[in-house]
Amino acid sequence: MYKEKARTGKSVNPFMIKKGFYISELHFGYDGLESDSDIAGPFKTLERARAIFKKIVTNDDYRNKAQIVNDYAIKGPTHTPNGYETPWYHFEKHWSEA
């Protein structure tokens, strides 16, 4: 079982990640994403990050609300899923992933 603990360091810049995946809480403002804070990680694989995401976000009664679950995401090395470079990954496997 994964035990969640608070990270003591600063959040990692999403565009500087070369390896590893982090589960992050997103902080939105009026103009969109203002900042994020890592709550878990780094994980070596995306599959491991998705498994931990499921345990600490979707299986949690407080965090698993429609408006709250959208405030968490997985960030990792940049990729181009739709032609645009992004460090953010979906918490479930998408059909376009090989």
**CA 36 to chain CA centroid, nearest Å:** 9
3 within a domain of the structure (yes/no): no
27 found inside a domain? no
Exposure of 5 by Cβ count < 10 A (0-12 exposed, 13-18 middle, 19+ buried)? Answer: exposed
- Overall average pLDDT of the 43-62 stretch: 86
Q: Is residue 76 part of a domain?
A: yes
Domain count, the chain: 1
Q: Where are the beta strands (DSSP E) in the chain?
A: 21-29, 32-43, 72-79, 86-89
pLDDT at 1: 47
Domain membership of residue 84 (yes or no) is yes
Average pLDDT of the segment spanning 77-95: 84
Read off the pLDDT band of 5 (50, 70, 90): low
On whether residue 85 sits in a domain, the answer given is: yes
In a domain, 25, yes or no: no
Determine the average pLDDT of the residues in 93-97: 66
Q: Domain of 68? A: 14-20+47-89
Residue 62 and residue 48: Cα distance in Å, rounded?
A: 22
Q: What is the pLDDT of residues 6-39, one digit of tens each?
A: 555 566 766 677 789 999 888 888 888 788 888 8
- Inside any domain, residue 64: yes
